[in-house]
A = this chain, B = another copy of it.
Amino acid sequence: MALIDRSDMAEFATIRDEVTALKRERTVEAAAQLFYDRGYEKTTLEAVAETMGVTKPFIYNHFKSKAELLADICTRGVSASLVAMDAALAAEVSPTEKLRMLSRGFLTAVLSNQRYIAILTREEKSLEPADFERLSVLRRDFDRKLVALLQAGVDAGEFHLNDPYVAALSIGGLVSWAYVWYRPDGRLSLEALADEVSSLILAMAGVPAGQ
């Protein structure tokens, strides 16, 4: 280690970097839990630090402000949704199958990032304008891609939709809202829920039952 010149380190993940990343990660997790339970404005950084067994300056060594912590949290939910979208679009299958993949992947992304999605939805007004704008662009991007997918399905004769734009917003809402009611210890597993919801969405798109 001692032989490695400092100037090279930027390109490699050193132990130090990993430790720093771990601390950031733990801080985000602790903050997300409290922001989710109590709300952003009602959560003090003191409280976040306390649940981690550290103090406030620890947090300020890794985040420049409370708002940056929020931005980090909010970015996660949106990113996960976009990853699911891009994965579905990249598959070389019919629009119907893409929509099924998207529905399942999107719901899974929302539910496995439940806290982050909830915080984004509730607290977007507390984001710095630049972060808000950045995330808005990502969300519009998601909607745009979904409209295009629905339109492609209509053009292929697989979907029957009068207004793909409204349909896209409806699908987006149906899935996004799942953070409100989902309970990890509920009656249905995440897998089973994904099956249910994706068939509801296919039905909504006008795909005959049973594919």
> Which A residues are closer than 8 A to B by beta carbons?
38-42, 121-123, 125-126, 160, 162-163, 165-167, 169-178, 180-181, 187-188, 193, 196-197, 199-201, 203-206, 209
Complex CA–CA separation, A150 to B119 (angstroms): 31
Check B196 against A39 for contact (C-beta < 8 Å): no
Which B residues lie within 8 Å of A173 (CB)?
A: 173-178, 180-181
Selected contact of A176 from candidates B122, B126, B177, CB within 8 Å: B177
Copies of this chain, whole number: 2
Check B200 against A160 for contact (C-beta < 8 Å): no
CB distance from A22 to the nearest CB of B (A): 29
Enumerate the 3 nearest inter-chain pairs by beta-carbon distance, A residue then B residue, closest first.
Answer: A173-B177, A41-B41, A39-B125
Complex CA–CA separation, A123 to B180 (angstroms): 13
Check B199 against A162 for contact (C-beta < 8 Å): yes
Complex CA–CA separation, A199 to B41 (angstroms): 40
Selected contact of A169 from candidates B41, B160, B170, B178, CB within 8 Å: B178
Complex CA–CA separation, A176 to B201 (angstroms): 17
User: Which residue on B lies nearest to A172, using beta carbons?
Assistant: B177
With contacts A122-B121, A160-B209 taken as known, whether A200 is within 8 angstroms of B170 at the C-beta atoms is: yes
Complex CA–CA separation, A125 to B37 (angstroms): 8
Which B residues lie within 8 Å of A205 (CB)?
A: 203
Given contacts A172-B177, A173-B178, A173-B181, 20 further A-B contacts (CB under 8 A): A39-B41, A39-B123, A41-B42, A42-B125, A121-B121, A121-B122, A122-B123, A163-B188, A165-B187, A166-B193, A166-B196, A166-B200, A170-B197, A171-B174, A173-B177, A174-B174, A174-B177, A177-B177, A203-B206, A204-B204
Complex CA–CA separation, A165 to B193 (angstroms): 11
Give 24 A-B contacts (CB < 8 Å), ordered by A residue.
A39-B41, A39-B123, A40-B41, A41-B41, A41-B42, A121-B121, A122-B122, A122-B125, A162-B199, A163-B188, A163-B196, A166-B188, A166-B196, A169-B181, A170-B174, A170-B197, A171-B174, A173-B174, A173-B178, A173-B180, A174-B174, A176-B180, A203-B203, A203-B204
